[in-house]
Amino acid sequence: MRIAYQVLALLVALGVVVQAAALAWGDAGLFIWIMNGGVLDAAAIEGEAAPFAEVTGFMVHGMNGMMVIPAVTLILLIVSFFAKVPRGIMLAGGLTVAVALQVTLGLLGHGIAIAGLLHGANALLVFGLALAAAGAARRASAIAASTSAMSAPPREPSPGLSGQQPPASRADVG
């Protein structure tokens, strides 16, 4: 379960990277379209056809941020109860709250400009919490592996692997 926890946390962090890249791609396309004479108004936004190809970046940003990242975060929260990661439940819970705030700020950003600013800043918090959760799981796995290796009984060397012959038994001597 620790590996599942770690993978899910890394998927959330990767999702934040996709969010930033998709938004930058969409913004770049929008600015190029405007520089080439495009006009951004209600008709362009509400029209059937995409005014420029990079508008897909905005769609990816919306779908990933509204559905994918929240779903992965909720699964991470559920897994955190079984993964036995130190501070794992706290990190997953904090991440869930930060993602819920992120979705709220993203929706509010369409009408309140300062919410857009906070949306961008909170994305860094989401990214940091996701990496912290993944790191906690990695450390827990490493500690568990070293603890189990130290508590395992010593193994006897098998003949032939070390190149030495096993010691002669008393029956062979006499």
Other beta carbons within 10 angstroms of residue 31's beta carbon come to 13
Q: pLDDT value at position 161?
A: 57
Q: pLDDT value at position 28?
A: 97
102: Cβ contacts below 8 Å, ≥ 6 apart: 65, 69, 119, 122, 123, 126
Instruction: Single out the residue of 79, 66, 170 nearest to residue 133, CA to CA.
Output: 79
Q: pLDDT value at position 169?
A: 61
Q: pLDDT value at position 157?
A: 64
pTM of the model: 0.79
Q: pLDDT value at position 165?
A: 60
DSSP structure string for 83-112? S--TTHHHHHHHHHHHHHHHHHHHHHTTT-
Return the structure tokens found at 51: 């005014």
Q: pLDDT value at position 116?
A: 95
Q: What are the per-10-residue average pLDDT scores of the chain (174 residues)?
A: 96 99 97 93 84 93 98 98 95 98 97 97 98 94 65 62 60 56
* Domain spans of the chain, in order of start: 2-147
Terminal alpha carbon distance of the chain: 56
Q: pLDDT value at position 29?
A: 95
